[in-house]
Amino acid sequence: MAKPNYSFEKRQREIAKKKEKDEKDARKREAREAAKQSSGSGEASADDSNDPTTTA
């Protein structure tokens, strides 16, 4: 009977964890960008008009 390859199994678990983490980070990044785009467009014009450095 063959011996179990624990190193291979551990590596597969690590790869699965990394994949899940990357997917979660991607979802978070998309949510942040969507929130920034929806709320950032109105604030950017207001901030630019009140910025004393642009009225030089």
pLDDT tens by residue, 21-40:
999 999 999 999 999 888 87
| pTM for the full predicted model | 0.56
Note the pLDDT of residue 1: 86
- Provide mean pLDDT across the span 32-49: 70
Concatenated DSSP letters of the chain = -PPP-HHHHHHHHHHHHHHHHHHHHHHHHHHHHHHHHHHHHHHHHHHHHH-GGGG-
Note the pLDDT of residue 41: 60
pLDDT tens by residue, 4-27:
999 999 999 999 999 999 999 999
